[in-house]
Amino acid sequence: MKVDSSSTRQLTLPITGMTCANCAATVERALCRTEGVAGASVNYATERAIVELSEGGATLEDLSIAVERVGYGVLQADPDELHDVEAAARQRELENQTRKFWVGVGFAGPLFILSMARDFGVLGSWASAHWVYWLMFVLASPVQVYVGWDYYVGGWKALRAGSANMDVLVALGSTVAYVYSVVVVVMLTAGSTLAGEHVYFETAALIITLIKLGKLLEVRAKGETSEAIRELIGLQPDTARVVRQGVEYDIPISDVVVGDVLLVRPGERIPVDGEVVDGLSSIDESMLTGESMPVEKGPGDVVVGATINKSGAFHFRATRVGADTALAQVIRLVQEVQGSKAPIQRLADRVSGVFVPIVIVVAVLTFVVWWAVVGADFSVALVRLVAVLVIACPCALGLATPTAVMVGTGRGARLGILFRSSEALQRARQLGTVVFDKTGTLTRGEPEIRTVITLDSDEAELLRFAGSAELMSEHPLGEAVLREARRRSLNLTKPDSFRAIPGQGVQAMVGGAEVLVGNQVLMENRDIDLAALESAMESIVAGADTPLWVVIDGEVKGILGAADILKEGSADAVRDLRNRGLNVIMLTGDQNATAEAIASSIGIHEVRAEVLPHQKRDVVGELQVDHVVAMVGDGINDAPALAQADIGIAIGTGTDVAIEAADVTLMGGDPRSVVTALALSRATMRTIEQNLFWAFFYNVVLIPVAAGALYSVTFLPMMLRSLHPILAALAMALSSVTVVGNSLRLRRADLR
Ligand code: ADP
Ligand code: MG
């Protein structure tokens, strides 16, 4: 979900009391109906609502009231404490559910043993005495009322809000078995066998207890799916050592303000983002970039909060604190994605929305067919009805997608791969073409001037002009020229006028002379005669370097050769992508011959060179006609192309999270992460599909079995021919656990 933050505002609300995906749908509808709300998305797995407010906007109170009216709650907490408050609430819920489960076991266990022993006739004649019936009633009732209470409450809430959820099914199923049994006992006591002699107390009690077990395991596993976020939050140190007026103080991290000078000693975590003032150190940034090699930092370098200072001590000035730090952004981003809905989930939501009413109809039909058509006993028909109700709880369906998305994106965050939308996760598998930007993506983006060729053999003069012209340029090539001029201690003059010509070069007035520095295209546009240095250019290009023409007052004076070192992982990344059957293309504004030379050295066969920045987007658009296209760029001048691509992958640098235009941000600079990101999204999608398969399998395939459709298939075991409701409840509990467990496997999935 991409939202323009200028016109709308987004709120994230923690929702309490949801027991299944239908609850989430109910809350979502309630929020959407509220005045001042442009849209809402409620995620059952994260238990959060993302609300988009329209102009004027609803207040938090309006929203809380809307949520409470349909029977759920909004957890009130400061944004800072939200996570702790949520964790505490979840912990309480877990304890509460655990207690209920054990109470259920305590009563349903003996009840089950008693009724089994009776059915197998091992107890002798006393077992059919009336008091035994009443004993069973006494054992079943606490389970029905105390342990089963949540289902009544949940079911009632849903019905009142005009929908039906799994609580309705559990409540209905167990109540039918329980109430029928009560009627039997009362009739028997009154001396009548009109209602039959068999009771189903243990069925009711075990349905409730088993499904409670499923819920319990689900709540636990759900807690584990958000482990990555918890880990990220845990990276934030609690205190910082600030230097004020020459005195060092330890202060809480929340008291650090921008501009504070902080001291970091070896082995400590850097508290917030900032810039080194003095000192040298190597810093482990792996928690944010996924890259294990420590990075050397000195005065002027940017340091990122939550990274670990390995060797030296240094002072740095805080530049971003609190919610502005890179870590805070990462956390927010991951939470947003986890809360957003993948398109595939909407389908599951729609299905489970109509599922429950359909199931109730099927259950009633089952009863009618068995009783009235087949002519079975009333109680046999009733057992079929209960089995159908219980087997059809759609809770696994609701968990299938969000749990996989949570585990997948969490794993990504740990590897320095940030997904911005769950849509991107889903699209990644149809991918056909990966387009790489050259400079800064496949190469380090820190070119060096390797060759200086002049017509009149005054290198210093040439570089003085070129360096002065590039003084205001922010382009890596401009900086390379500047660095070379400074290295030679040349005196540069500030240009009187300066113009950057995107994708071509620069034009500047330096001390009365008009200087042009740039590529072939620029020179051709200006009708400059380049013949004098044509062969010099060819030798630069042959060495895979980028030629930069230097022209003064319309005459070519020299040519510079800039070499940009390839990143270590570039060739590997290209090879892995091609092995996966993907088309790899290099896209660059650089000269054709240079681009070709670099491309072939890393195994790329298709190159689009001399492409101006604004044309990159069109090139991506053309490629999209045939393929799903991913664009990998350094995220600054490639922004339009990143936005155009089906999957925009920005290579960030941990600090400058250039995320707005991209679907995926790689916090480190390693192109091999592209392969990992694609593998992760494929693995996540595969998990979602497996989950949906199992959820549908349990829910849909087992319904006819529960209804007794296999009854006449006599070679099957009786267990299947007439599926006992207790087995149905067991299958139900298993289905949610299978799905969540399968999602958790993603934490260790092979991503090569
Ligand atoms: P890329 O697509 O590889 O990131 P750009 O589109 O930014 O490259 O630039 C394309 C070409 O334009 C460069 O290879 C260079 O020849 C020329 N150019 C751009 N900016 C400058 C500059 N400041 N100085 C000299 N040449 C430049
Ligand atoms: Mg670039």
pLDDT, tens digit (0-9, with 9 covering 90-100), for 242-272: 998 889 999 998 899 999 999 999 989 999 9
Residue 483, number of CB atoms within 10 A of its CB: 16
DSSP sequence for 211-274: HHHHHHHHHHHHHHHTHHHHHHHHTS-SEEEEEETTEEEEEEGGG--TT-EEEE-TTPBP-SEE
How many Å lie between the centroid of ligand 2 and the Cα of residue 476? 9
Give the pLDDT band (50/70/90) at residue 471.
very high
Helix axes 227-234, 82-119, angle to 10 degrees: 150
Are the C-beta atoms of 665 and 415 separated by less than 8 Å?
Answer: no
Q: Which residues place a Cβ less than 5 A from the ion ligand 2?
A: 437, 439-440
pLDDT in tens, 158-175: 888 777 777 888 899 999
**Interatomic CA distance for residues 204 and 606, integer angstroms:** 67
| pLDDT tens per residue, range 632-649 | 988 567 888 888 999 999
Q: For residue 554, what pLDDT is reported?
A: 93
Arithmetic mean of pLDDT over the chain: 87
Of 638, 595, 637, nearest in space to 620 by CA: 638
Rg (CA), the chain: 34
Position with higher pLDDT, 662 vs 598 = 598
Both tokens of 67, joined, read: 């949520």
- Provide mean pLDDT across the span 265-290: 89
> What does the pLDDT average to over 278-297?
86
pLDDT number for residue 396: 80
Select the more confidently predicted residue: 67 or 123.
Answer: 67
Give the pLDDT of residue 4.
40
Ligand with smallest separation from the Cα of 612: 1
Residues with Cβ < 8 Å from 720, sequence gap 6 or more?
Answer: 705, 710
Return d(Cα 236, Cα 255) in angstroms, integer: 14
Cα–Cα distance list, 705 to 75, 698, 699, 700, 712 (Å):
42, 10, 11, 9, 11
Interior angle at CA 569, CA 563 and CA 571, nearest 5 = 75
Q: What average pLDDT does range 300-308 have in this prediction?
A: 90
Higher-confidence residue of 415 and 445: namely: 415
Grouping H, G, I as helix, E, B as strand and the rest as coil, residue 317 is strand
| Residues labelled as active-site residues | 437
For the CA of 614, the nearest ligand: 1
Residue for token digits 């907490």? Answer: 77
Report which protein residue has its CA nearest ligand 1's atom 8: 589
Ligand nearest to the CA of 476: 1
Which amino acid is located at 95 in the chain?
E
Ligand 1, atom 27: closest residue by C-alpha: 505
Q: Examine the pLDDT at 53 and tell me if it is beyond 80.
A: yes
- Which has the closest alpha carbon to 146: 80, 81, 101? 101
| CA–CA distances in Å: residue 505 to residues 470, 608, 637 | 9, 19, 14
**Residue to mutate (ligand 1; options 475, 611, 617; most atoms within 8 A of CB):** 475
Q: What is the pLDDT of residue 655?
A: 44
Rounded Cα–Cα distance for residues 517 and 536 (Å): 16
d(Cα 558, Cα 550) in Å, to the nearest integer? 5
DSSP bridge partners of 641:
none
Query: Of ligand 1's atoms, which has the minimum distance to the CA of residue 438?
Result: 3
Q: Taking CB atoms and a 6 Å cutoff, what residues make up the pocket around ligand 1? A: 437-439, 470, 473, 475, 477-478, 503-506, 517-519, 546, 548, 588-590, 613, 637
Q: Are 327 and 304 in contact (CB under 8 A)?
A: yes
CA of 477 to the centre of ligand 1 (A): 7
pLDDT in the model for residue 317: 95
pLDDT of residue 80: 63
Bridge partners, 302 (sequence order): 275
Tokens 């991290």 found at: 253
CB-CB contact of 221 with 169 (8 Å): no
pLDDT of 656 reads 53
**Per-residue pLDDT at 690:** 94
Residue 16, classed as helix, strand or coil, is strand
The pLDDT of 486-504, averaged and rounded, is 92
Q: For 53-77, what is the mean pLDDT? A: 86
Residue found by looking up tokens 């970091």 in the block: 264
Q: Contact 166/395 with Cβ under 8 angstroms?
A: yes
Looking at the predicted structure, is the pLDDT value of residue 493 above 50?
yes
Cβ contacts of residue 625 below 8 Å, gap of 6+?
none
Beta strand pairing status for 417-419 and 664-666?
antiparallel
Side by side, the strands of the sheet bearing 497-501 are 448-454, 555-563, 546-552, 513-518, 505-510, 497-501
Q: Quick one: pLDDT at residue 660?
A: 66
The count of other CB atoms within 10 Å of the CB of residue 257 is 12
Evaluate if residue 156 carries a pLDDT over 60: yes
Instruction: Return the residue whose CA atom lies nearest to atom 22 of ligand 1.
Output: 505
Which single residue is written with the structure tokens 């012209």? Answer: 469
Are 454 and 439 within 8 A, CB to CB? no
* Run of H or E residues at 716: none
202-250 pLDDT per residue, tens? 999 998 998 888 888 777 777 777 777 778 888 888 899 999 888 999 9
Continuous segment of H or E residues that includes residue 360: helix 343-368
Which residue has its alpha carbon closest to ligand 1 atom 7?
A: 503
- By alpha-carbon position, which residue is closest to atom 20 of ligand 1? 505
pLDDT score recorded for residue 497: 94
For residue 399, name the pLDDT band (cuts at 50, 70, 90): confident
* Predicted local distance difference test score (pLDDT) of residue 6: 43
Distance 504 CA to ligand 1 centre (A): 5
Q: Measured in angstroms, how far is the CA atom of residue 503 from the centroid of ligand 1? A: 5
Calculate ∠ Cα 449-455-461, nearest 5°. Answer: 60
> Mean of the pLDDT values across residues 130-150?
94
Highest mean pLDDT among 282-286, 438-442, 448-452 belongs to 448-452
Provide the 10 A C-beta neighbour count for residue 14: 19
Candidate of 519, 540, 551 to mutate for ligand 1, largest count of ligand atoms within 8 Å of Cβ: 519
> Are the CB atoms for 73 and 163 separated by under 8 Å?
no
> What pLDDT does 452 receive?
95
pLDDT of residue 8: 61
Which residues does residue 298 pair with via DSSP β-bridges, in sequence order? none
For residue 624, the CA-to-ligand 2 centroid distance in Å is: 21
Given a cut of 60, whether residue 2 has pLDDT beyond it is no
User: Lowest-pLDDT range, 383-397, 437-451, 589-603?
Assistant: 383-397
